[in-house]
Structure 1
Amino acid sequence: MTATQQKTKCITLKGSAELVKQYLTYGINSILYQRGIYPPETFEPLERFGIFFLMSVDDKIKTFLETVLGQVQEWLEQKKVHKITLVITNVNTKEVLEKWDFKVDYEDETANGTGNKEEHAIMSDVGNKDIATIQKEIREVIRQITGTVSFLPLLDCPCSFDILTYTVPDCGIPKEWDETQPVFIANSQEVQLRSFSTSLHKMDTIVSYKNT
């Protein structure tokens, strides 16, 4: 394989963070649609990665997600975020009914640490996985998210959602954001979905829900 051919198969840290952001955007929209948080007529189909996603057309939701996930993308490049949680809450009682944890591992930090710091910094900014393979893995996780309606309990009350980010202490939280405590669900069940890896970021998706 020539050097040029090899380069086309590499993914950069920036490109990896962008793919993870895309996964979170499409995954969260799919959850909001599948779980009936908003009326189905407020979503429209969008084709990405070879499958159709249902995306919210509500400007407030689109702006909120773009703002939050844009910041998450920046932190992913800086390796400062380790979990993003989508929380679904009963509007009337404020009870947390469901949460989706998107856990991030930085794979170069768990790899065999050989070589000097300069070599490690260079290598940790370039992955070894081609984008088509990563997109295929993301597609499989999204299909699993879609399939969760077969076992998740019906949300038969008005619900709202929020997104929590778990970061390192010195990441510089935007002034518009509030610090909050982790959320828990009493008597919860937990299901882990497929993982996907960019070779720089590894993403685990776990849904927890109230066991009724």
Structure 2
Amino acid sequence: MTETAVRSNITLKGSAQMIREFFFYGINSILYQRGIYPSDNFDRVKQYGITLLVNRDHKLQQFLKPLLEQVEHWLSKRLLKKLILVLSDVSTKEVLERWQFDIENEAIDGEETKQDEKKVKQGIADVIKQIVASVAFLPLLETQCAFDVLIYTGKEVEMPEDWADSSACLLENPEEVQLRCLSTGIHKVHTKVQYKADL
């Protein structure tokens, strides 16, 4: 086997698509693991060699599809800095958990990189497995919770009309766990979760 047989070129556009897909499955995994939607709302799908759970709620799909299309567009322009999934108490609005995905644009020449696509997908699977395993240390969410997605871009970026400014939704004195990092060779995603230890 020559090196070119096991490595493939990942373009900026291809990398943006892979990260968008990671966010889709990652967000669905968090919503399932943290009980934000009833478990029977989720269907099992096989992806990256593992079984993942995807919510079939129509309203959620209507929310996520345009959001992730916009995220992919910003990734392809190297404008996305971070995506944050916030879980908060429905009645008190208190932020209980904050899943942060920091995007690092890796320094490369041109618009593509030689990278083993299989390895990238394995990296995505490894992070999602960690998200699934996180229920072992995260406190039980005993109140009804809602979620929101925060997007950080450069100041020069024009926001879609139906998007609104938000506070940073920070937690006071949170515990923090850093998960694995994944890389396409063009984008690197650092994942961490912050949570209240004394729920």
3-state DSSP class of the match of 1:33?
A: helix
For the Cα contact (< 8 Å) 2:130–2:179, is it kept in 1? yes
1:191 pairs with 177, 181, 190, which one? 177
Q: Does 1:129 align with 2:115?
A: yes
TM-score by length of 2: 0.95
Residue identity opposite 1:89 in structure 2: S
Q: Does 1:165 align with 2:151?
A: yes
| Counterpart Cα distance in 2 of 1:146 and 1:158 | 20
| Counterpart Cα distance in 2 of 1:135 and 1:53 | 14
Higher strand share: 2
- CA deviation profile, 1:136-176 (whole Å, cap 9, x unmatched): 11111110000000000000000000100000011110000
Higher helix share: 1
Q: Does 1:152 align with 2:151?
A: no
2:97 maps to what in 1?
98
Structure possessing the higher radius of gyration over alpha carbons: 1
Query: How far apart are 1:49 and its partner, in Å?
Result: 0.7
Query: How far apart are 1:69 and its partner, in Å?
Result: 1.0
Query: How far apart are 1:2 and its partner, in Å?
Result: 8.0
3-state DSSP class of the match of 1:127?
A: strand
| Counterpart Cα distance in 2 of 1:190 and 1:69 | 26
| Counterpart Cα distance in 1 of 2:89 and 2:116 | 41
3-state DSSP class of the match of 1:128?
A: strand
3-state DSSP class of the match of 2:164?
A: coil
| Counterpart Cα distance in 1 of 2:153 and 2:118 | 29
For the Cα contact (< 8 Å) 2:7–2:115, is it kept in 1? no
User: Which runs of structure 1 show a deviation greater than 3 angstroms over 4 or more consecutive aligned residues?
Assistant: 5-8
TM-score by length of 1: 0.90
- Cα 1:2–1:41 change in 2 (3 A) is closer
Residue identity opposite 2:95 in structure 1: V
- CA deviation profile, 1:4-27 (whole Å, cap 9, x unmatched): x47961100000000000100000
Q: Does 1:56 align with 2:42?
A: no
| Counterpart Cα distance in 2 of 1:51 and 1:189 | 29
| Counterpart Cα distance in 1 of 2:5 and 2:184 | 16
Query: How far apart are 1:127 and its partner, in Å?
Result: 1.2
3-state DSSP class of the match of 1:140?
A: helix
Q: Does 1:76 align with 2:84?
A: no
3-state DSSP class of the match of 1:185?
A: coil
3-state DSSP class of the match of 2:113?
A: coil
Residue identity opposite 1:127 in structure 2: T
Query: How far apart are 1:128 and its partner, in Å?
Result: 1.7
Residue identity opposite 2:66 in structure 1: T
Query: How far apart are 1:204 and its partner, in Å?
Result: 0.5
3-state DSSP class of the match of 2:115?
A: coil
Residue identity opposite 1:91 in structure 2: V
For structure 1, the residue ranges without an aligned partner over 5 or more in a row are 112-119
Query: How far apart are 1:187 and its partner, in Å?
Result: 2.3
| Counterpart Cα distance in 1 of 2:173 and 2:153 | 27
| Counterpart Cα distance in 2 of 1:37 and 1:211 | 19
Size of the aligned set, in residue pairs, is 198
2:24 maps to what in 1?
25
